[in-house]
Chains A and B, each alone.
Chain A
């Protein structure tokens, strides 16, 4: 099974900062990689799929890139609503997996 890592595990940032989160997989997932945002007590929200495709109602300040085993989620200018935990998700085969998560909190 593909193993997932995310870095950093926690990130402290201020409103307006540019934020980058990295997800690495132990084997190539090609471009079958998604990103979710989750707030406490809420269900995850799909932000990006196919490594870089923005889900329909998601703000353009979110962007994704990468291919194979290394992927990034970037928030161009952090907004108060963006403080949350972010998960990557490999879905390219019959052993999908989520990364351990990156918590973005207020500096």
Chain B
């Protein structure tokens, strides 16, 4: 069974802090990695994609990928209350299937 594991949280951080969200996956042939943000009652919104080892930065978001450790993370700098949401880690092996983790709930305290 191919799996994507996330800590369900909630992860609580104060406003302005760095939020660190982690994800591990079981299938070594996974090629593509995504982070989606989902507000309560809304649909998932793609915020980051990463395909090769290392860091990828986009504004306040940094995705980190370590294929040897089968680990992908998302850092949110200068966290804002508007970042409070569930963050879904998603992994694809290159076919049409994307496996989603159960999500980590993030709460940013003002």
Report if A and B associate in a common complex: no
The residues of B with any CB-CB pair to A shorter than 8 Å are none
The residues of A with any CB-CB pair to B shorter than 8 Å are none
